[in-house]
Amino acid sequence: MGEDFLPYKTRLEYLGFDLRGIRLVPGSYTAQAFITTDLDDNQITAFHPGAMSASHTHAIDTVPDITMGVVSPDGREGMLQHARQFHEAGIPFLFDPGQGLPLFSGPELLVFLEQATWLAVNDYEAQLMANKTGLSFEQLATRVDAAIMTQGAQGSRVFTGNEVISIPAVPADQVVDPTGCGDAYRAGLVYGLSHHWDWNRTGRLASLLGSVKIACRGGQNHTLTRAQLNEKLQEKFGFSLDS
């Protein structure tokens, strides 16, 4: 993080996050993204990486007790090194390349898949990976334990083994802002994976969280208590976090 991190640090502490893995980079600002969204939810993003460019200098072994990882859009070297470090340490991780996909060649993406346990992409990113590697998404999916492809209002699909599991989209109360919906979906994936849920439950939790997010403006302004989430899960899918 950059020298402007303090107000956000206060917010994260208020929310109860463990900040032991965060390091400040002197002379840098925290990475910033400015996203313009039109009425059809098309987006243009202006991005300044700032302190993120130093992510490769921060090894995963500086944080104790890691049981699962996520390699998501970051500095190019940071993504390469953290994936390799997770793999060498025997720590399962989700490869979520997102906007970082154009940074890598086809062979480099295949190395990521050799190291990763799971893959998560949207339909556009899935096609981009296929174009870069020369392999279909179905072929790419065989290289990890499971590959998840989100498809917006059409829901999502989980490719695992010889099975393709369809996950329904949850209609939003209102569509306000798609920014951060993919991240909310991935929060559901991480929760389900870390609690050893099956893919039907994991995908449905992820789908619901994406639906909750899209009804709020901004990537982090939505709130949901455990009781409220359980109520929504029970209403939509007939299960809860505790059942």
- Are residues 207 and 151 located together in one domain of the fold? no
- Are residues 84 and 16 located together in one domain of the fold? no
Given pLDDT bands bounded at 50, 70 and 90, which one contains residue 215? very high
- Are residues 144 and 183 located together in one domain of the fold? no
Residue 35's pLDDT is 82
Counted domains in the chain: 3
Please give, one letter per residue, the 3-state secondary structure of 184-204: HHHHHHHHHHHCCCCHHHHHH
Q: Which of residues 167, 191, 221 is at a domain's end?
A: 167
Residue 80's pLDDT is 98
- Are residues 154 and 79 located together in one domain of the fold? yes
- Are residues 112 and 149 located together in one domain of the fold? yes
Higher pLDDT, 42 or 209: 209
Residue 66's pLDDT is 92
Asked if residue 156 lies in contact with residue 184, where contact means CB atoms within 8 angstroms, the answer is no
- Are residues 83 and 54 located together in one domain of the fold? no
Given pLDDT bands bounded at 50, 70 and 90, which one contains residue 62? confident
Helix axis angle, 106-115 relative to 76-89, nearest 10°? 30
- Are residues 77 and 143 located together in one domain of the fold? yes
Q: Which of residues 13, 29, 60 is at a domain's end?
A: 60
Q: What is the number of other CB atoms lying within 10 angstroms of the CB of residue 203?
A: 26
**In this model, does residue 100 exceed pLDDT 90?**
yes
- Are residues 181 and 226 located together in one domain of the fold? yes
Q: What is the DSSP letter of 4?
A: T
Given pLDDT bands bounded at 50, 70 and 90, which one contains residue 40? confident
The residue segments making up the domain with residue 201 are 169-243
pTM of the model: 0.92
Q: Which of residues 60, 88, 108 is at a domain's end?
A: 60
- Are residues 79 and 130 located together in one domain of the fold? yes
Report how far apart the first and last C-alpha atoms of the chain are (Å, whole number): 38
CATH of residue 142's domain is 3.40.1190.20
Mean pLDDT, the chain, rounded, equals 94
**In this model, does residue 41 exceed pLDDT 90?**
no
**DSSP letter for each residue of 52-95:** GGGGGGS-GGGSSS---EEE-S--HHHHHHHHHHHHHHT--EEE
- Are residues 84 and 38 located together in one domain of the fold? no
- Are residues 157 and 179 located together in one domain of the fold? no
Residue 141's pLDDT is 98
